[in-house]
Amino acid sequence: MTTAKDLFIIAMSPEPEHAVGQGDLSLALAGAELIDLITAGAVTLDGDRIVPGGPTPPADRLLDEAAAQLTRQPPHEPVEDWLWRRGQDLAAAYQAALEEDGELTRKRGGRLSFGPERVEPADTPARRAAAERWEEREPVLTALASAVGVDGEGPDGEERQDGEGPGTDRPDDERPGDEPGLGGDAATTVVAAVHDAVMELEAVRQRRTIENAAFANLWRGP
């Protein structure tokens, strides 16, 4: 499986209070795709700009789709712009693909058989491989998961360490992009960009909340 699919499985915590926002996850999935493309030699980074390289090894439909969307003419696209463009509704696309492949299963929640339906990873070799990668604290997967607030639990709900929610401020020397062992400057650049994009998305959410509250108060009157 790709890093993006492993990340999606890891992000599917069984506890609602640990749920990852679709927007945050979509940005991280776009970053995971880019790192896999870099690893495969399909792209390189020139500073923060994505330069297409050799052909993508045929392995995954969504990764092939990502490669097809690369900007191939100069000026090449910055990593941050790629995250926002490719990340549009990307979490939903991964959910649909994983359900189609039998990697996700739908179950009813609560005591009643007609309770709310939820989606969770199926017990498959791919899920176990993702869990193993998580348990080994593979640096890229760990850093991307941390950027969207998945620090505490893996796909089996086992506690790992104190978690931080999406958009939580970190000291500069603790940003996800600075974690050791990421495999070079390119991966570090991508993970740092994911972190910044998630922070920006959270700022937008907070601003909208404040604006909506102010609008409601205006109509409510003194």
Does 31 score more than 60 pLDDT? yes
Count: domains in the chain: 1
CA-CA distances (angstroms) from residue 64 to 3, 31, 38, 155?
A: 14, 15, 13, 26
Q: Is 45 left (phi over 0), alpha (psi -120 to 50) or beta?
A: beta
Tally of CB atoms within 10 A around 136: 10
Contact of 42 with 190, CB cutoff 8 Å: no
User: Over pLDDT 90: what percentage of the chain?
Assistant: 53
pLDDT tens digits, residue range 113-142? 444 567 888 999 999 999 999 999 999 999
| Residues of the domain holding 107 | 3-220
**Cα-Cα end-to-end distance for the chain:** 57
Burial (0-12, 13-18, 19+ Cβ within 10 Å), 99: middle
- The continuous run of DSSP H or E covering 108 comes out as strand 104-108
pLDDT tens digits, residue range 74-112? 999 999 999 999 999 999 999 999 999 999 988 755 544
CA distance 183 to 190: 11
